[in-house]
Amino acid sequence: MTVNRQHLWPTTIYTFKIKDGIDNEILYLEILEKEKKNQGFKFDPIQGGGWQSNKDLFDTDIVFSNLRKSLINNVNNILSDVYRDDAQIGLINSWANISRKGECTMPHIHEESSWSSVYYVTPTKDATLYLKDPRTQEQMDSSHHFLKTPYSNIVRKRPFEAGEVILFPSWIEHGVGTGVIDSIRISIACNFLIQG
């Protein structure tokens, strides 16, 4: 018997580390200063809490210029293998996120963009990113309990180190689990748009 196996509708994500001259301690202090100066907004606790800067982070401060340049170069290098030569890959916005013990990020998507990235200024520790499968929920088929590798519609990513980046399609619903450790978690999110 000849059996052909196919994986239908795979969703690719990328992770990489930026090592070229990014000082996370300076970024950390700059983002905390933006929070102190109210250059953003605080989420209501019912929405998970946490703070988010305005969405023009890379456009306002020279301190973020090296990170901006590195992200644009890396994302263009990665996605140039995915898209035709006439596609333009452009950064459209960027913002910082701060969360503390007891705070989380509710599931959401990044509308009006093609790809999203998250750069970790601090390690994620216990508050890790998770991605939700947009297809049929596992409860629709009770046989998944018998699978050798059980299906789950939520994929919790391993903790990230400072300097790591994850790049994923913007339509994937994602969130961040509640932090239980008394620490500050800071990340920088960006959206990229593919245009012709």
What pLDDT, in 10s, does the model give residues 137-182? 666 777 877 878 777 777 888 899 999 999 999 999 999 999 999 9
C-beta of residue 104 within 8 angstroms of C-beta of residue 194: no
Closest CA to 196 of 69, 87, 112, 36: 87
Query: Hey, what are 144's tokens?
Result: 């998944």
Please indicate whether residue 9 or residue 118 has the higher confidence score (pLDDT). 118
Dist. CA 103–CA 47, nearest whole Å: 9
Q: Give which of 10, 57, 62 is closest to 34, Cα–Cα.
A: 57
Going from the N-terminus, what domains does the chain have, and what CATH number goes with each? 28-195 (2.60.120.620)
pTM (2 d.p.): 0.91
Q: Token digits for 154?
A: 């939520």
> Taking a C-beta distance cutoff of 8 angstroms, is the pair 11, 132 a contact?
no
